[in-house]
Amino acid sequence: GAVVSQHPSWVICKSGTSVKIECRSLDFQATTMFWYRQFPKQSLMLMATSNEGSKATYEQGVEKDKFLINHASLTLSTLTVTSAHPEDSSFYICSAGTGNYGYTFGSGTRLTVV
Amino acid sequence: AQKITQTQPGMFVQEKEAVTLDCTYDTSDQSYGLFWYKQPSSGEMIFLIYQGSYDEQNATEGRYSLNFQKARKSANLVISASQLGDSAMYFCAMREGSNDYKLSFGAGTTVTVRA
């Protein structure tokens, strides 16, 4: 089946630095990738939708300059958290559309900013 | 307005018993899809079951079944013969064409299976 590989699984970074999270579709071409953020015991909140070769579409309230999304190829989408602060600590997860039956999710990245 | 409503924040169920997780949805689309996902403490999202709005039969996948009541806009998940490994958070989600096929998630229900 369709697999999305997400790296890193967890990362700790210092406040003010940037962190890049990668999602790769291993056995299919992901035209569209969705990026979510999830706080403990809460639901997944969609941050943005990325389409290969075009600019990402951000949800209302998401800072596009802080959360940079790049979808340069059909198999790779990246999320860069720039100038990270402790409040950016969260679980980030990507998913790719795989046709009528839906979506394949990456395994998620736990980001801790200290 | 909330597109997906899950009113049960947490539930306890005895091993080997069945449990029903409630989900109601709100959409004006005629064509939409409903999903249930399981999220264990590891964080991965595990697809459980899918119901299309035009599907006349309730979806079933092993121990999972979806009780789809279209007129009531309800899509409850039934887990039969609960196992300890079923302890996790469960999310109901909806895909609508009018929303660019993005998934809207409910707040989730935490299920704890007791031995």
Band the pLDDT of B97: cuts 50, 70, 90. Answer: confident
Rounded average pLDDT over A56-65: 95
Rounded average pLDDT over A53-82: 93
Chain B residues closer than 8 Å to A110 by CB: 43
Q: What is the DSSP string of A12-51?
A: EE-TT--EEEEEEESSS--SEEEEEEE-TTS-EEEEEEEE
Please give, rounded to a whole number of angstroms, the shortest distance from the CA of A42 to a CA of chain B: 6
Asked if A3 has any chain B CB less than 8 Å from its own CB, the reply is no
Looking at residue A54, its pLDDT comes to 86
Nearest to B44 among A46, A49, A107 (CB): A107
Band the pLDDT of A97: cuts 50, 70, 90. Answer: confident
Asked if A108 has any chain B CB less than 8 Å from its own CB, the reply is yes
Average pLDDT for chain A: 93
Asked if A97 has any chain B CB less than 8 Å from its own CB, the reply is yes
pLDDT at B15 over 70: yes
Asked if A14 has any chain B CB less than 8 Å from its own CB, the reply is no
Best of B5, B87, B103, B104 to mutate (most A CBs within 10 Å, chain A)? B103
Best of B42, B105, B112 to mutate (most A CBs within 10 Å, chain A)? B105
- Taking one residue from A and the other from B, the number of pairs with CB-CB distance under 8 angstroms is 49
pLDDT at A30 over 90: no
Question: Are the CB atoms for A85 and A40 separated by under 8 Å?
Answer: no
pLDDT at A27 over 90: no
- From B111, B114, B40, B39, select the one nearest B78 (Cα to Cα): B111
Rounded average pLDDT over A15-38: 94
How much of chain B exceeds pLDDT 70, in percent?
99
Band the pLDDT of A100: cuts 50, 70, 90. Answer: low
Best of B45, B53, B109, B111 to mutate (most A CBs within 10 Å, chain A)? B45
Please give, rounded to a whole number of angstroms, the shortest distance from the CA of B43 to a CA of chain A: 7
- From B36, B32, B22, select the one nearest B92 (Cα to Cα): B36
B38 compared with A31, residue with greater pLDDT: B38
Looking at residue A72, its pLDDT comes to 83
Angstrom CA distances, B68 to A42, B29, B56, B74, stand at: 25, 16, 9, 6
E strands in B15-87: 19-21, 24-25, 32-39, 46-52, 60-61, 64-69, 74-79
Band the pLDDT of A31: cuts 50, 70, 90. Answer: confident
Which residues have C-beta within 8 Å of that of residue B96, sequence separation ≥ 6?
B3, B27, B29, B32, B102, B104
Rounded average pLDDT over B19-27: 97
Q: What CA–CA distance (Å, rounded) separates B100 from A30?
A: 16
Residue contact B43–A42, C-beta within 8 A: no
